[in-house]
Amino acid sequence: MKPIRLSVNGRDIEVEVEPRQHLADFVREELLLTGTHLGCEHGVCGACTVLIDGAPARACIAFPVALDGAAITTVEGLADDPVAARLREAFMAEHGLQCGFCTPGMLIMARDIVLRRPGADDAAIRHELAGNLCRCTGYIGIIRAVRAVAAERAKAGEAAVVTRSGAVAPPLHISPLTLPVAPARLPDGQDARPGRSEDKPAAGAGFVPEPLRNPVELVQDFEVPASRAQVWALFQDPAQVIACLPGARLTAPSDGRRVNAEMLVKLGPIQAAFGGTGVIAADPANWTGTIEGGGVDRRSATRVQARLVYGLDELPGAAATRVRVEVAYVLQGPLAQMSRGALARDLAARLTAAFATNLTALLRGETAPAQPAPLDAGSLLFSLVKDWLRRLFRRA
């Protein structure tokens, strides 16, 4: 094993890697970035294409051990990239995808083409895409999609961007966890900060947070019609906070510092029950707090570790409060696909909307449901598809 440092999708990581593990296996198995697909594993088909220091490269014949200090961007890292977003729209409009297996590599290569060669014609695009194989589309729709975006950039006067020398453009937006985090305090002066193994309580005494390894990060904010003091008071009551989450319930009384809870998630015919423990910390001086926890679904053996940071900002007039919630989590196991890319952000946005609705109801004196229904990710996914189709036909 050799220690290396990498930047993956804008996040700096330090890991130990096997010398013969290739980059595609590393990002898929170690970082759970499964948008990078594996086909030939000989550097021929292009399905595993990623960006290494801004330039497209085959992840199946690149080795992390030889990439110490490099910046890696997978297709997940382009979720908020405007050029990649325009290419995704063009691929859909021109029917440039079918099974989708080659699509992540195609999109990464297509982005490089339109950045380097605004206004590229069909011949140039065919030549540039010669290393990305597709067994479904016949390439015609893909070429039309790339040509359309390249033409748009040329018409807008966009200059060619050098990517092969390491310059990457445009920069990707990464949302860091910026709110102050107070360490969770445990009884008898024990410290629950990650990495303090000498301070861990005895087995069964409670959950001690561990560092999250390359987590997914989500940021949401919403407004509630109540003063900051009212919202703060509610957030200090774990039972009320849990009652606002769809499908969540306390499994044991909370002492205000630890929480034992369960959350039911339904995905089609699959229903998972994540049971776990967390620790709570609050910083009244900054109107912020943290909740760190972990749990497991016994049926699927899917594990989750998460950290939630919240902050309260009083709006003018002191009659309303903006709640900012930042979540970082790692999901490992059969249900890990629920944590990937735009799907995770959309599901989180809808979960936050439900939480905000329930929180507002509680602040108005209404009673939370005694047995909340499980979070139905399947119905949320169906609504995402409906929204996408609605937007598609509106554009048409």
DSSP string, 322-389: EEEEEEEEEEESTTGGGGSHHHHHHHHHHHHHHHHHHHHHHHTTPPPPSSPPPEEHHHHHHHHHHHHH
Superfamily of the domain at 1-171: Beta-grasp domain (3.10.20.30)
HEC per residue, 127-146: HHHHHCCCCCCCCHHHHHHH
pLDDT exceeds 70 at position 245: yes
CA dihedral 314, 320, 326, 332 (to 10 degrees): 160
Provide the residue ranges of all domains of the chain, joining segments of one domain with +.
1-171, 187-389
| Average pLDDT, rounded, for the chain | 79
Beta strands 258-267 and 248-252 are antiparallel
The pLDDT score that the predictor gives to residue 365 is 79
The pLDDT score that the predictor gives to residue 210 is 61
Q: Do domains 1-171 and 187-389 have the same CATH topology?
A: no
Tens digit of pLDDT for each residue in 102-147?
999 999 999 999 999 999 999 999 999 999 999 999 999 999 999 9
The pLDDT score that the predictor gives to residue 325 is 87
Of 304, 303, 320, nearest in space to 312 by CA: 320
Give residue 27's pLDDT band: very low, low, confident or very high (50, 70, 90). Answer: very high
pLDDT exceeds 90 at position 46: yes
187-389: which CATH architecture? 2-Layer Sandwich (3.30)
Alpha-carbon gap, residue 31 to 11, rounded angstroms: 11
Is residue 307 helix, strand or coil? strand
